[in-house]
Amino acid sequence: MKIEINRDDLVYAVSAVERAVSAKNTIPALGGVLISAKDDRISFRATDLELAMECVVPGRVLESGEVVTLGRRFSAIVRLLPAGDVTISGDALHLELEYAGGHQALPCLPAEEFPLLPQAEGEIQGSIPVKEFRRLVRETGIAAASDEVRPIFSGILTELAPGEITMVATDTHRLTCGKGAWQGTGKGTLLIPNRTMQEVARLAVNEDDNIIITGGRSQVFFSFANLTFTSRLIMGQFPNYRDVIPAEDSFPIRLFVDRAQLTQALERASLVSRETGRGRGSVVRFDVGENELVLSAEVPDEGTIRENVACSGGGGMLTVNFNARYLLDMLKAVEEDTVEMRLSGPASPSVLLPDMSKDEEAGGSYLYLLLPVRVSR
């Protein structure tokens, strides 16, 4: 194999796929990046068997072929190359790079051990605007569990139906649900790893583009621009989230709060509030009244804080404690200026909603359900 490629295109391609390079190296080739050159098509691929990524970039194919080189090391090398064209040639044993004023070589891995990437196929297929996809992933992914102890909670449940897409995530302490529009055929539910969704959202930067989603029984495929993703679905029964979300008329207290002011107050309160345990955040007390919201926190020998946050609405008096980090996650994920808080009791689930009443272009909906923290006195 021998190709000529611009250094910037090379860096872009390798940076895009290296997140899928396996760190476990149970199969040596999975620790590498497959470079394939054929018919003026240059592609870079990586996979850890859970997630596979391919990026196609322009360049000149001087000799067709494919090689697998050390993924992490290759990525580090290409980032430090000078501007200009790079000539890459290789065989089963070595890969060589020639560039302005220099030459480097590094070993190759067995290309025959690199798995073939499956073809995109499935009963569900359609497209969603990049901007809408990124919004949904940003707003719902915050509630996906970060550990793999219970895999079903580490994914984003994605329901696809004619004209509508719904994404749901929960770590059992909170739940997010976002809806948007999409165009496609087929109907079904896919439990997609949050890691996959975050990678797609990270690389889909052109908001004028569309993401094509194809869903099968065990895999899901994403494609846009010059990138293709393949991911295994999470197998298991996701909780019936509809039964968890309280009815709209079950919240006697409703407040409308400025998002920026509440965010700043919570960040200050977090500095002197008690940890909830295992580093998952700190506890902040909310005292609610008519057109009144007071945040407070107190830790002996460390300090106290009490702040009034401007709000409108009411419905009763209530004292409730929340995990400050969980609240901040939601407030930083949405973009609307005002947030509606629906409260019912010190031990009952609360719901936060971005106030989209002034957004004439809003085409979806979103809610954030959060369990209060029980505080022992």
Q: For position 301, what pLDDT does the model report?
A: 75
Q: For position 344, what pLDDT does the model report?
A: 94
Question: Taking 60 as the threshold, does the pLDDT of residue 263 lie above it?
Answer: yes
Question: Taking 80 as the threshold, does the pLDDT of residue 329 lie above it?
Answer: yes
Sequence-ordered list of residues with C-beta below 8 angstroms from that of 247, at least 6 positions apart, any chain: none
* Mean pLDDT value of segment 32-38: 95
Q: In the structure, what pLDDT confidence band is assigned to residue 277 with cuts at 50, 70 and 90?
A: low
Q: In the structure, what pLDDT confidence band is assigned to residue 273 with cuts at 50, 70 and 90?
A: confident
User: What six digits make up the tokens of 319?
Assistant: 């004292």
Q: What is the pLDDT of residues 214-247, one digit of tens each?
A: 999 999 999 999 999 999 999 999 999 999 999 9
Edge-first strand order for the sheet with 174-181 is 188-193, 155-161, 164-170, 174-181, 365-370, 350-354, 338-343, 253-258, 311-314
Residue 139 in domain: yes
| 37 touches 66 (CB < 8 A) | yes
Q: For position 377, what pLDDT does the model report?
A: 57
Question: Taking 70 as the threshold, does the pLDDT of residue 42 lie above it?
Answer: yes
Q: For position 276, what pLDDT does the model report?
A: 59
Q: For position 251, what pLDDT does the model report?
A: 96
44 and 89 share one domain: yes
Q: In the structure, what pLDDT confidence band is assigned to residue 196 with cuts at 50, 70 and 90?
A: very high
Residue span of the structural domain in which 272 resides: 248-370
253 and 175 share one domain: no
205 and 273 share one domain: no
Question: Taking 90 as the threshold, does the pLDDT of residue 362 lie above it?
Answer: no
Q: What is the CA radius of gyration of the chain?
A: 25
Q: For position 200, what pLDDT does the model report?
A: 97
Given 198, 221, 242, the domain boundary residue is 242
Q: What is the pLDDT of residues 239-256, one digit of tens each?
A: 999 999 999 999 999 999
Distances in whole angstroms, Cα of residue 3 to Cα of each of 32, 54, 102, 280: 18, 17, 16, 49
Q: For position 281, what pLDDT does the model report?
A: 65
Given 82, 113, 144, the domain boundary residue is 113
Residue 74 in domain: yes
Residue 119 in domain: no
User: What is the overall mean pLDDT for the chain?
Assistant: 92
225 and 255 share one domain: no
Given 242, 262, 293, the domain boundary residue is 242
Q: For position 193, what pLDDT does the model report?
A: 97
Question: Taking 80 as the threshold, does the pLDDT of residue 4 lie above it?
Answer: yes
Q: Is 291 helix (H, G, I), strand (E, B) or coil?
A: coil
58 and 33 share one domain: yes
105 and 193 share one domain: no
Residue 377 in domain: no
Q: From CA 192, how far away is CA 233, in angstroms rounded?
A: 5
104 and 9 share one domain: yes
Question: Taking 90 as the threshold, does the pLDDT of residue 271 lie above it?
Answer: no
Q: From CA 346, how far away is CA 369, in angstroms rounded?
A: 14
Residue 349 in domain: yes
Residue 89 in domain: yes
Q: In the structure, what pLDDT confidence band is assigned to residue 318 with cuts at 50, 70 and 90?
A: very high
* Mean pLDDT value of segment 333-345: 96
Cα dihedral sign, 367-214-146-240: positive
104 and 130 share one domain: no
- 268 phi and psi angles, rounded to 5 deg: -70, -40
Classify burial at 264, counting beta carbons within 10 Å of its beta carbon; exposed 0-12, middle 13-18, buried 19 or more.
middle
* Mean pLDDT value of segment 73-92: 95
Instruction: Say how many domains are in the chain.
Output: 3
107 and 138 share one domain: no
Residue 118 in domain: no
Among 11-20, 140-149, 189-198, which is the least confidently predicted range?
Answer: 140-149
Q: In the structure, what pLDDT confidence band is assigned to residue 361 with cuts at 50, 70 and 90?
A: low
Q: What is the pLDDT of residues 139-193, one digit of tens each?
A: 999 999 987 788 999 999 999 999 999 999 999 999 999 999 999 999 999 999 9
In percent, the amount of the chain with pLDDT more than 70 equals 95
35 and 141 share one domain: no
Q: For position 26, what pLDDT does the model report?
A: 78
79 and 147 share one domain: no
Q: For position 270, what pLDDT does the model report?
A: 87
Q: For position 280, what pLDDT does the model report?
A: 57
The CATH number of whichever domain residue 135 belongs to comes to 3.10.150.10
pTM over the 0.85 mark: yes
Question: Taking 90 as the threshold, does the pLDDT of residue 302 lie above it?
Answer: no
284 and 199 share one domain: no
* Mean pLDDT value of segment 2-17: 96
Residue 171 in domain: yes
In percent, the amount of the chain with pLDDT more than 90 equals 83
